[in-house]
Chains A and B, each alone.
Chain A
């Protein structure tokens, strides 16, 4: 049973539209992440948050923005979608216990911009 939820699962949208990808977790994890993954390629970190009102850019430059107003919610927004944004977006959260981090991933949002 998933404890981290991403919606929508699939999204096809036209160029120039504003979109928000939702990610929510029910585990109380303080750390949350957004990864981008092109087909057959590695995951790349685009945003992360270590707690409420804390957001940082990841290793891969992205035109998206994120917010973390509540612990359980970490939405990702594209102000103006472009075909180059077509990809899969995976949300994850982690906990720290004794210095070790367990991860939980969402099912992903597959975005197609036409």
Chain B
């Protein structure tokens, strides 16, 4: 069993829909990251969370430390949101900041 699990693995939505991607982890963490990877391969760091909720534009990320769960929400989705969304955690047991990655969620938003 992976230390970081994401669901769903694949998600197809229509433009304008509200989207939720979930991430569960099984280790103590110092921080959780949401990353976005476009087909070209480059990765963008969207959020880094240690508690609560963060919002950036149409993106919202939440984390519940007690339940070891985080969600990434996209409001009013758009075809340009199509990408792989990756959840990653910085486990407390490691010295420093090495990340453990989920398998990613492939999001496709159709016009």
Contact = CB atoms under 8 A, between A and B. Distances in A.
Interface residues of B, number: 22
Contacts, number: 57
Contacts of A42: 101-104
A35 to B, nearest CB: 8
- Secondary structure of the A contact surface, majority rule: strand
B97 A107 contact: no
Contacts of B31: 100-101
Interface of A: 31, 33, 37, 41-43, 45, 48, 50, 58, 88, 90, 92, 94, 96, 99-108, 110
Interface of B: 30-31, 33, 35, 40-45, 48, 50, 86, 90, 96-99, 101-104
Complex A-B, nearest 5 residue pairs according to Cβ-Cβ distance, in ascending order = A101-B97, A105-B43, A107-B42, A108-B41, A94-B97
